[in-house]
Every structure is written in C-alpha cells, then in structure tokens.
Structure 1
Amino acid sequence: DMIGAVFAKLTEISNDEKPLPATLTPAVPIKRSVTDDYIVCLEDGKKLKMLKRHLMTAYGMTPEEYRARWGLKPDYPMVAPTYAAKRQELAKKIGLGRKPRAPEPAAAPKGRTRKKAVA
C-alpha cells in the first residue's frame, strides 16, 4: 500500500512538470558567423566554406530549416564570400552564364564534283 502511494505521488509530480522551452544559444554570435574566408555553423561552431552539405550530413537540415531555427534572414549566405567570388570568377572564365551567340548563317555548301575516270 505504501509503495502504491509513493508511486502515485511520483507519477503526479512528474506529470505536473512542464518542460521549459529550450532557448537556443548559437556557438558564436550571429553577426560574427560570416567572415570573408569562412562561415561558422551556429549549431557546432565549425568553420566551413560551404554550410549546406554540413547541415544535411551532420544534422539532416536544409538551409531553410537552419535559417528558420536560428531566425536568420532568407538571404543569409550558405557559402563563404571569398569562396563564392572565386567560383564566380572561374565560371565566368570558362564561359558559363553567357547567352549563346546568334548562329552565323551557314554558307551555301559547295557542290562536290566527281573525279573523271581516266580511260
């Protein structure tokens, strides 16, 4: 009887407790999370050039979920600025992002003549 009373009281106490909402604290201040050379992950404090892949592999999060979780603006970068600039320069160098040139009119094909057989 005493064990049942203790169990009932413990159950009552555990049901009355409401979990406190966990306040998120970033690993670094949000303003310092973006530098020229890297982006710092607010989840674990790792310095990365590309954040998107890290979020998916380590936490199973998309960039949109990450931004929503930390209250970031929709234009918060997922790539370090210098890395993005380097990739942009490389893409322009090899010709990506340009509109294709208008095709030049093809010249009339010259007729091929058969060689005459020598008899």
Structure 2
Amino acid sequence: MHFYIPGAIAGIIVFQVSIIAPTMFKKLKIEDFGTAIRSIWPKFFALICFLALASIGVMLSSGDGNNVHLGISGFTLLASGICYGIIPATNRATDSGNSKKFDLLHKLSVWLTVAILLANIAFLLV
C-alpha cells in the first residue's frame, strides 16, 4: 500500500511538467499563462506536500516501509514545502524585473522538483 503514494507523486510531476505546463505555454498568451501558472503551481506543491504527509502517515500507521522510505517521504514533504514557500518571492522577483533573483529561485524550484521526482521513483526501487 505504501508504494502507491510515491508513485502518484512521480506521476503528478511528470504529468504537470510534460503535459500541463507546455500545453499552457503554447496555447495561452503570455499574460494569461502567467496568471494561470501562478494559480496552478501553489496547488501543485500543496498537493505534493499533502501526499508526502499522507505517505508518512500510512507508513507509520501500518508499519510498512523502512527508514529509507520514511526519509524519502520526509524529503518530499520538506522540498515541496520549500518550493511552495518560495513562490511569493519568485512572483515578486518577476513583477519587479529582478531576473537574477527570479532565475535563482526558479532554478531552486526546478532542481528540488527533479530531486522529488527522482527520490519518489527510487522509493519504488528500494
């Protein structure tokens, strides 16, 4: 049972970055894209936080999983929480034209999301 949630997290990330975001970028005007993406990304990271917390809860209540699994779910919770937390600063950097700060925060968010994806794939293999 404890393998379903990390699989869902990995699937959600792949779906978001390979289908949702590129489709929006191609089909929406840049102003509309910005508005839509500012609405979607917080929900995306909040959902991953919730699922990571649920994963930890399932493992602790059922006794399934091991310390590596708990560590991966804990990392997922922390990293997605950081990504969620930096969204307002990223938006402010965009709005004020501070491209250096935006690039730094955006790269942090991207790298953490990639790490979350890889960690949750690894969860299924360890």
Q: TM-score, length-normalised on structure 2? A: 0.22
Question: Which of the two has greater helix per residue?
Answer: 2
Higher relative contact order (CA 8 A, sep 6+): 2
* TM-score, scaled to structure 1: 0.23
Bigger radius of gyration: 1
